[in-house]
Structures are given as structure tokens and as C-alpha cells.
């Protein structure tokens, strides 16, 4: 009888602080606020605040959302709701087409261009050559088209057969629906998939709850395991260690 673990046929990644880190670009954010301001002026449906005030109002709306984000609430309203709330704070109630346009301006493209380590790309190349399917699941207010745009600009889109963003799902990780959608799009069973992320609850616990194995990465964030009720299948220092960690998991050994 063979008691060895099921071989891993797919790897699904978190993005921020797992696949990439961020290089903040304040100039790009300001440009988006100016584009938002111009779109509201073109609508001509009320007194539009100056760009700086619009930016301040949006920042406060995002801060409110972030306070909920850091709570245990898993429901996530879509990004156009955030835009509507922010504009309501400014005394504006644009029609749906204007809301849609502004949402695309603000969240249709990653403002802070991600930074990816060369050995991460080499790891993706190795998985691709070995026929390992890959996908990503991200908690974000960025639209899925924005995630796809960032992946494309980084030269990573060709690796990912599934791109799942919480902004379009109505929930954020660790809700099972995000992991299940990635599995469905990759046409893979949970026991054949491995999830890699930097957060113990959102990534490791969420993936394991649907039957996946999960690896915690400390490449950009070092979330401690002390006192955690969750045990990753492996802990790695950077994504370049992932092939060795998978080999250990598949053999039933521990890593590191």
C-alpha cells in the first residue's frame, strides 16, 4: 500500500509580499487623482472638489475600508462601492457609467509597481517546464484587470492560468470561494494543489481548510508561528526554495 502524499500538480500563489514586494509611486497616485478629477468635471453633475481634496477624501474612505480589512469580516464589497462611498463623502452622486470609469482609473492598474526577485522568475520557469499549473489568489481592492496588467508588465502573466482577486468575489481570503475558484479554473483537485502565501490565517489556514497543502513564505514578511493554531506544510525563506520544499512534502519529509 502506498502511503506517500499525493503529488503536487498545481501551485497557487498569493501576490503581495509573496510573489512581489512594492516600490511605492506617489506620483502615479497623484496622476490617477487628476484623471479622476477630469472625469468628474466631464460629467458636470455637481461642484467637484479640487484634486487635493478629492485625494484626501478618497484616502479617508480607503482608511475606513482598511479598518474593516484588518478585522475578521470576510465579506468584501466590490471596488466600485468604495468609489461611490468616497464620492458621496464629497457630496457627489455620479451615475453608474461615471462610477465605472473612475473605478477603472483608480483600481484598474497597479499604482505601486511590484518588484520581483530574479530567482522567483527562475522558479516559475522551472515549474512551467515541469508542467506544474500555476495560479494566484489575492486580497485586493485592485480590479482583476489591474492584477492582470501588473502580471503582464512584469512578464509573469504567461505563467498563471488563473487570476483571482477578492475585489470581484465579494469575499476575501481565507473565504473558501477564492481558493475554490482557482482550483476550478486550473481544473485541479484540492489535494493536488499547493498554496504559497505570507499570512498564516489568510493564506495557510484558508488553503488548508479546502484541502490544499500550504507553504508559508518569509521572503518579504516574517509572520511568526508562535501561538498560531495553524501548521504550514513547510516554511521557506524565499520562493527559490519552493521546489525543494515541494520535494520534501511529496516524500512525506519535513522542510526545512
β strands within the chain, DSSP E:
10-13, 21-22, 114-115, 133-138, 162-165, 193-197, 213-217, 234-236
Regarding whether 165 and 55 lie in a shared domain, the answer is no
- Give one word for 109, left, alpha or beta, with left for phi > 0 and alpha for psi -120 to 50: beta
What confidence category does residue 45 fall into, taking pLDDT thresholds of 50, 70 and 90? confident
How many whole angstroms separate alpha carbon 149 and alpha carbon 50?
29
Q: Is residue 1 part of a domain?
A: no
pLDDT digits (tens, 9 = 90+) for 132-143: 999 999 999 899
Phi first, then psi, for residue 51 (nearest 5°) are -55, -45
Q: Classify the C-alpha dihedral 201-240-218-69 as positive or negative.
A: negative
Task: Among 75, 107, 139, give the residue marking a domain's end.
Answer: 107
Could you tell me if 127 and 11 are in contact, meaning their C-beta atoms sit under 8 angstroms apart? yes
C-alpha to C-alpha distance for 121 and 221, rounded to whole angstroms:
19
Domain interval for residue 85 = 26-107
- List, for residues 197-234, the tens digit of each pLDDT value: 999 999 999 999 999 999 999 999 888 887 778 899 99
Name beta bridge partners: 215: 196, 234
Using DSSP's 3-state secondary structure scheme, residue 223 falls into: coil
Whole-prediction pTM: 0.83
The answer to whether residue 4 is domain-embedded is no
61 and 145 together in one domain: no
Cα dist from 196 to 3, 167, 245, whole Å: 24, 20, 11
Q: Is residue 78 part of a domain?
A: yes
Could you tell me if 219 and 125 lie in one domain?
A: yes
Average pLDDT over residues 26-53: 89
- Strand-pairing partners, residue 163, are 136
CATH at residue 56: 1.10.150
Residues 31 and 18 placed together within one structural domain of the fold: no
Q: Are the C-beta atoms of residues 19 and 13 closer than 8 Å to each other? A: yes
Number of residues in the chain: 256
State whether 245 and 190 are in the same domain: yes
The more confidently predicted of residues 172 and 31 is: 172
Q: Which of 34-38, 174-178, 228-232 has the lowest mean pLDDT?
A: 228-232
- Of the pLDDT bands very low, low, confident and very high (cuts 50, 70, 90), residue 1 is very low
Same structural domain for residues 124 and 103? no
Where among 82, 107, 132 does a domain terminate? Answer: 107
Residues 91 and 163 in one domain: no
Same domain flag for 15 and 76: no
CATH of the domain at 120: 3.40.50.1000
Residues 235-248 have pLDDT tens digits of: 999 999 999 999 99
What is the count of structural domains for the chain?
2
How large a percentage of the chain has pLDDT more than 90? 72
**Same structural domain, 170 and 226:** yes
Amino acid at each position: 500500500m502506498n502511503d506517500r502524499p499525493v503529488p503536487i500538480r498545481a501551485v497557487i500563489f498569493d501576490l503581495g509580499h509573496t510573489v512581489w514586494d512594492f516600490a511605492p509611486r506617489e506620483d502615479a497616485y497623484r496622476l490617477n487623482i487628476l484623471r479622476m478629477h477630469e472625469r468628474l468635471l466631464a460629467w458636470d453633475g455637481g461642484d467637484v472638489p479640487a484634486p487635493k481634496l478629492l485625494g484626501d477624501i478618497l484616502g479617508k474612505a480607503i482608511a475606513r475600508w482598511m479598518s474593516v480589512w484588518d478585522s475578521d469580516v470576510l465579506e468584501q464589497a466590490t471596488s466600485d462601492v468604495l468609489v461611490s462611498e468616497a464620492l458621496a463623502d464629497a457630496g457627489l452622486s455620479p451615475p453608474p457609467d461615471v462610477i465605472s470609469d473612475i473605478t477603472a482609473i483608480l483600481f484598474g492598474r497597479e499604482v505601486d509597481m511590484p518588484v520581483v526577485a530574479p530567482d522567483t522568475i527562475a522558479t516559475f520557469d522551472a515549474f512551467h517546464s515541469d508542467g506544474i499549473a500555476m495560479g494566484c489568489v489575492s486580497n485586493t481592492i485592485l480590479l482583476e484587470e489591474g492584477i492582470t496588467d501588473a502580471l503582464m508588465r512584469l512578464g509573469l502573466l504567461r505563467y498563471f492560468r488563473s487570476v483571482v482577486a477578492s475585489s470581484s468575489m465579494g469575499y476575501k481570503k481565507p473565504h473558501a470561494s477564492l481558493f475554490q475558484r482557482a482550483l476550478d479554473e486550473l481544473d485541479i483537485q484540492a489535494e493536488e494543489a499547493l498554496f504559497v502565501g505570507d499570512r498564516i490565517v489568510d493564506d495557510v489556514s484558508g488553503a488548508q481548510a479546502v484541502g490544499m497543502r500550504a507553504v508559508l513564505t518569509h521572503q518579504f514578511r516574517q509572520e511568526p508561528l508562535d501561538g498560531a493554531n495553524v501548521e504550514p506544510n513547510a516554511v521557506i525563506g524565499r520562493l527559490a526554495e519552493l521546489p525543494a520544499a515541494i520535494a520534501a512534502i511529496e516524500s512525506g519529509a519535513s522542510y526545512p
